[in-house]
Amino acid sequence: MSESTLNFLNNWRAAMLLLTPISAAIGILIFVFYKIKLSTTKVYKAKYDLVSKHEYKFLLSAHVFIAGAIFFVCNTYEAEGLTHSFMWFWIRLFISLCIGVLYGYVALLMLKFYYPTQQAKRLKVYRYAPRVNPKTGNKMKLLSEEEEDAYLDEGMQAEEDVFSVDYDVWIDEDTGDTHIEKYEGRLHAMECDRCGFQTLKLEKEEITKEVSDHEDGELIKHYKCTYCKRIKRKTVNLSHEKSASDFKITESTKLIEDPLNMGAKVILIKMDIHISGGRVESYEFQNMVEAQKFLKEFELSKLEEEEQA
């Protein structure tokens, strides 16, 4: 074996020994930093926003660096009689890559399928944990959907009506102090560029150019703000290939409560909408009326626009 090859293999192993603890340390530091940030966040709404918007990215980043550490440490393995073999270098590199990718893939599957359920449980705890009035120290009461309308302006109520935003109103019954928290709704409506509320809703679609077997078509979408009545139009190209927009939930879609007539009380309705390409959107409702209203307002095109954006 040439001296240059031997030097390369020695330098490679030294680099792997150096990168292993560095990559592992970065992954652990990312995880610890996030946990410290979460534990030091005292306001429940802030905890909710941190978990819902940033936790997945922190966990994914941590796993990526841990997977890198696994790849590096596997590249330091020495086999008797093969340590300075260039063939062993390639074999070890391939095996290390497989192990690192395997760890990353398993971690990704856990984040994709197991993590959302655990995250939803924690978010529910943060959202509905009793609030305390910072002025008096009194416990505050969460108002029902019907009661909270008296404390929301017309724009806020319009956002709730199209499921783009959900507001929680907490009230101190002794002093009358209120605290309003804003959450993302079940549908991600567009924000109106006139009034600023997320109430821009698709009214109708007009095909201006038909789709052919070899040429895309053209569609004009007409939007209307349910609050300020602004009208907006958007031109969309229609692919000649079948898309998820062919799927539609209509008003004929029904939910049947207590089909066995056993007097059971519905405490939660969970709806999973499976879209072509493997994407799944999950929604939860507290009662049948809310679920039926959602089905009536639901338009899959909004989900497609959000994914394209």
Contacts 24+ apart (CB under 8 A), 59-62: 59/31, 59/34, 59/111, 59/115, 60/107, 60/108, 60/111, 61/27, 61/30, 62/27, 62/28, 62/30, 62/31, 62/34
Tokens of 220: 């004009």
Contact 255, 276 (CB under 8 A): no
pLDDT interval class at 248 (50, 70, 90):
very low
Nearest 5°: phi and psi at 154? -60, -35
d(CA 271, CA 284): 6
pLDDT in tens, 33-75: 999 999 999 999 999 999 999 999 999 999 999 999 999 999 9
pLDDT in tens, 252-271: 444 444 444 444 455 456 66
d(CA 123, CA 158): 25
pLDDT in tens, 81-121: 655 667 888 888 999 999 999 999 999 999 988 898 889 88
Which domains can be identified in the chain, with CATH numbers? 3-128 (no CATH), 141-184 (no CATH), 189-241 (2.20.25), 244-309 (no CATH)
Residue 17 above 80 pLDDT? yes
- 3-class DSSP state of 231: strand
Place of tokens 């969460």: 142
pTM: 0.62
